[in-house]
Amino acid sequence: MEYIYSAMILHSAGKEINETAIANILKAAGVEADTSRIKALAASLDGVDIEEAMKTAVAAPAAAAPVAAAGGAPAEEKKEEPEEEEVTEEDAAAGLGALFG
């Protein structure tokens, strides 16, 4: 994550996102950086409109939620509770009468 954060810091500061700049931020943060990961990140971000990618990333979860609720994921089924029969006083008294004789 710290590699991506370093690229985001560079972007928000208006600086060029390149291997040296990413390495410098990671070094300043005390991260022992892997040069192959830095190179891969810099190469993958080359030519990417980060503002557009961030807007898309933020909008994607919100857009996916209604789709999941609409049929992408099964909705919780309502559990039907058995209907309790209404017991009248006469029925209750008859039951007690049978109990006591």
List, for residues 1-12, the tens digit of each pLDDT value. 899 999 999 999
List, for residues 38-58, the tens digit of each pLDDT value. 999 999 998 888 888 888 877
Residue 85: alpha-carbon gap to chain centroid: 45
Distance between CA 28 and CA 9 in Å, rounded?
Answer: 12
Number of helices and strands (H, E) in the chain? 5, 0
List, for residues 86-95, the tens digit of each pLDDT value. 666 666 666 5
| Tokens standing for residue 24 | 């410098």
Distance between CA 34 and CA 31 in Å, rounded?
Answer: 9
**Residue 13 has what pLDDT?**
94
Lowest model confidence (mean pLDDT) among 15-29, 31-45, 47-61: 47-61
Task: Tell me if 53 sits within 8 A of 37, measured CB to CB.
Answer: no
User: 70 pLDDT exceeds 80?
Assistant: no
**Residue 99 has what pLDDT?**
54
Reported pTM: 0.55
Please, what are the domains in the chain? 2-63 (1.10.10.1410)
